Amino acid sequence: LLIATRTVKSINLDVSGEEIASQLLHLATFTDDPNPAVTRIVFTENDLLARGYVKELMTAAGLTIREDPMGNIFGRWEGSDPDAGAVMSGSHADAIPLAGAYDGTLGVIGPIAAVAALRKAGFQPRAPIDVLMFTSEEPTRFGLGCIGSRGMAGELTAALLDEKLDVNGTSFLEASTAAGYGGSTHQILDGTLVKEGAVKAFVELHIEQGPLLEAEGTQLGIVTAIAAPAALRVFFSGDGGHAGALLMPYRNDAGLAAAEVALAVEASVLETGAIDAVGTTGLFEIGPNTVNSVPREAKLEIDIRDIDAARRDAIVASVLKTVEEVAARRKVRHRVEMINQDAPATCSDQVISAAAEAAEELGVSHKRMVSRAYHDSLFMARFAPTGMIFIPCRNGWSHRPDEFATPGDIERGIKALALTLAKLAGS
């Protein structure tokens, strides 16, 4: 796929980092936990309020709104060539429990401002430009991340929509329908899948979520690849019993089996000696979770990632082996659910070059880097030339309430995004 890049140096972009920061903080008020924390779970009331605000901003920027059956929202700026595939830019507005105001949201509000600035500067794109807000990039509600972009890429099955249940036993199908989206399982899958040629390129603006740019004093990161994520759930069950009366030789403690596995996740990762490999047991539940009762049930959710998919898979295999070994030795029952085991993504040279040229034209320092977090870009890259632009964030903090990016960095990121979109769309 050939993307015409074009110098758009003459475009004078009017973007106010302060104004975007205040829009991000307004979006942050739609939250289940008090600010500065942001908790916004897909298809809850606050997610629907956030969607409403994003659609207001899209409308104010003159974009034409379309929503697919999964709840991915598209705001279109028509191009002059009706046959051209769209250049898209977007991210997500759902937020994990006790997160901050910038992860994902910058990549939704940012391109709205980028498009408004291009329009104000008199630019007329040849290809249409779509600003996109994805449904459920975060795995909080249904266990699986990037549901909307997986749907667009054709990486969801009917079974997933019907069987992905939240903690209350509500399926994705039911939750999306209650939110005003949905339809039948097949309508959702067919109506979300992107037709061949419909997307010319995709660019996502995001806070780095790591410390490198800030530490080095580099203003922009241009992403070359996205690390491969995997997630699994492990359940142990034992017989439980009285904490005083059940003597140690007669116990099969599900909590201790889980504890061993959590430590084995760390050990399996460290054994590789690879700084790029990471493993986290972020969810650890035991039941009945009471001081004078031997744990009878345990549930773990484990996240394992690496830029090297084969090494990531070897870590997953080692963890699975430990689960078997621990279950046998501790005489507990076990069950494992593999949630996802995704391939990494390589960013498109054309998008990388367009972003690098944009940074040069703005006189902004930049470096190429890997994204260790996953993003909807991981799935957009399956079918469209894809790239990402990172801005620094304070101390590399993310997925915490004190996540922060400066108005100056926000402004530079949006200007670089605008020029990148203009180059990719052509005039």
Nearer to ligand GLV among residue 115 and residue 373 (C-beta): 373
Alpha carbon of residue 58 to chain centroid: 21
Smallest separation, CB 342 to ligand GLV (Å) = 11
Alpha-carbon distance of 39 to 140, in angstroms, equals 10
**Residues 362-381 contacting ligand GLV, CB under 6 A:** 373-374
From the list 150, 168, 143, 164, the residue with the least C-alpha distance to 70 is: 150
> What's the closest the beta carbon of residue 104 comes to ligand GLV, in angstroms?
8
Residue placing its CB nearer to ligand GLV in the complex, 373 or 414? 373
Q: Which does 50 bind (CB under 5 to 8 A by kind): ligand GLV, Mn ion, none?
A: none
> Closest distance between ligand GLV and the C-beta of residue 186, in Å?
28
Q: Are 221 and 212 in contact (CB under 8 A)?
A: yes
**Rounded least distance, CB 316 to ligand GLV, Å:** 16
Gap between the Cα atoms of 419 and 6, Å rounded: 10
Q: Which is nearer to ligand GLV, 257 or 316 (CB)?
A: 316
* Nearest residue to ligand GLV on Cβ basis: 373
In angstroms, the Cα distances linking 329 to 246, 251, 252, 318, 332 are 18, 12, 9, 16, 8
Q: Return the number of other C-beta atoms located less than 10 Å from residue 420's C-beta.
A: 30
Site string for Mn ion, 88-107 (x = CB under 5 A): ---------------xx---
- Cα–Cα dist 382/153, whole Å: 7
A 10 A CB-CB count for 271 gives 13
Q: Is the C-alpha dihedral spanning 195, 198, 200, 202 positive or negative?
A: negative
Instruction: Output the smallest distance, CB 372 to Mn ion, in A.
Output: 11
Q: How many residues bind ligand GLV (CB under 6 A)?
A: 4
Which of Mn ion, ligand GLV, none lies near 358, with the C-beta cut-off 5 to 8 A by kind? none
Q: For residue 319, give both structure tokens.
A: 């963890």
Residues 125-164 interacting with ligand GLV (rule: CB under 6 A): 138, 145
Between 17 and 139, whose beta carbon lies closer to Mn ion?
139
> Taking a C-beta distance cutoff of 8 angstroms, is the pair 417, 221 a contact?
no
Write the binding mask 183 to 202 for Mn ion: x where contact by CB under 5 A, - elsewhere. --------------------
Residue 24 and residue 101 in contact, taking contact as beta carbons nearer than 8 Å: yes
Residue closer to ligand GLV by CB (options 68, 138) is: 138
Which amino acid, one-letter code, is at 158?
Answer: A
Site membership for ligand GLV, residue 99 (CB under 6 A): no
Least distance in Å: CB of 39 to ligand GLV?
14
Give the one entry of ligand GLV, Mn ion, none that residue 221 binds, where binding means its C-beta sits below a cut-off of 5 to 8 angstroms depending on kind: none
Residue 152 CB-density burial (10 A; 0-12 exposed, 13-18 middle, 19+ buried)? buried
**Cα–Cα dist 278/301, whole Å:** 14
Biggest alpha carbon–alpha carbon distance for the chain? 80
For ligand GLV, the closer CB: 374 or 390: 374
* Alpha-carbon torsion, ordered 197, 199, 201, 205, to 10 deg: -160
Nearer to ligand GLV, 362 or 373 (CB): 373
Considering the complex, what minimum distance in angstroms separates the CB of residue 286 from ligand GLV?
24
For residue 375, the minimal CB distance to ligand GLV (Å) is 7
Report d(CA 146, CA 229) in Å as an integer: 11
For 95, the enclosing helix (H) or strand (E) is: strand 95-99
Query: Residue 145 or residue 182: which is nearer to ligand GLV going by CB?
Result: 145
Helix, strand or coil, per DSSP, at residue 2: coil
Instruction: In angstroms, give the least distance from the CB of 373 to ligand GLV.
Output: 3
Site string for ligand GLV, 30-49 (x = CB under 6 A): --------------------
Closer by beta carbon to Mn ion, 3 or else 42: 42
Q: Write down the least CB distance from residue 267 to ligand GLV, Å.
A: 22
Query: What are the tokens at 332?
Result: 């507990």
Pairing of strands 386-391, 220-226: antiparallel
- The residue (of 63 and 226) whose beta carbon lies closer to ligand GLV is 226
What residues form DSSP beta bridges with 229? 305
Q: Which residues bind ligand GLV (CB under 6 A)?
A: 138, 145, 373-374
In the complex, the residues that contact Mn ion under the rule CB under 5 A are 103-104
